[in-house]
Amino acid sequence: MSRRLTRPLDLALLALCLLALPLLALAQPAPHAATPLAKAAPAGAPANATSVAAPQPRVLVKTSDGSFVLELYPDKAPKTVANFLAYVHAGFYAGTVFQRVIKGFLIQGGLFNRQLQPKPTRPPVAIEADNGLSNLRGTVAAARAADPNSETSQFFINLVDNPRLDFISDQSGATWGYTVFGKVIEGMNVVDAIGNLPTGPQGPFTADVPRPLPIIESITELPADAVPPAATPAPAKPGAAHPAG
């Protein structure tokens, strides 16, 4: 076959090959492209690593009756969690007490000192009880007055499922319920022991004050990668009753 006849054919084949290149490029994924569900890896991470969701913040509550760990839900109650952590980071809770214990219901504290006098607090935050969380056993919720938007430092822990404390509507303080913002994940036996203490009148309260008063020695935020310490009851004090949890 002569050179004059093959040259147009060679040019045509070359043109077809060049036209195919953009189509091949579009058909292949771009280098390092992430799938729709993958998150970008943090700086300095291996090339094939993907990020994982940040762990929920946790705090260690040390009391005179033992310690327990709370996991907090800032995705469900951002204002309430931020307010609680502000008190935690300021060391506010050291020396406060659980001044209210109702067996088979809840324990409440975080405002009054050992003399049952209230400590000065930060401004109240808006209620977030309509966040879809329920006051189930072991959950922690923000205490408040009749005004729904009166949450400050006080919190309570549900000893049983208490759906009657959940949000119903925004019509009144009675129907707003109480903001759940976390849960006990270690040491519920300590909470139960506090909930079983004998109670009576004391100071400005006519009932429900536990004896002896459970003191909150400290509340500290745990590092994100920390393994929570074993939460165990404090040793029994001479002459003091500490029922098993």
Q: How far is CA 201 from CA 70, 108, 149, in A?
A: 29, 15, 28
Q: Residues 23, 26, 28, 30: what is their CA dihedral angle, to the nearest 10 degrees?
A: 150
Least confident of 26-35, 137-146, 151-160: 26-35
Q: Judge whether 149 and 159 are in contact, CB under 8 Å.
A: no
Tell me the fold of 58-221: Cyclophilin (2.40.100)
Q: What is the model's pTM?
A: 0.73
Mean pLDDT of the chain: 81
> How many other C-beta atoms can be found within 10 angstroms of the C-beta atom of residue 34?
10
Q: Judge whether 193 and 243 are in contact, CB under 8 Å.
A: yes
At 216, is the secondary structure helix, strand, or coil?
A: strand
Closest CA to 95 of 108, 109, 85: 109
pLDDT of 99 strictly over 50: yes
At 66, is the secondary structure helix, strand, or coil?
A: strand
- Tokens describing residue 225: 């990668």
DSSP-H helix ranges across 125-224: 173-176, 188-195
222, with CB counted inside 10 A (0-12, 13-18, 19+), is middle
How far apart (Å, rounded) are the C-alpha atoms in residues 130 and 231?
31
Least confident of 46-55, 81-90, 141-150, 236-245: 236-245
pLDDT of 39 strictly over 90: no
Q: Can you give the residue ranges of every domain in the chain? A: 58-221
- Tokens describing residue 26: 């579009």
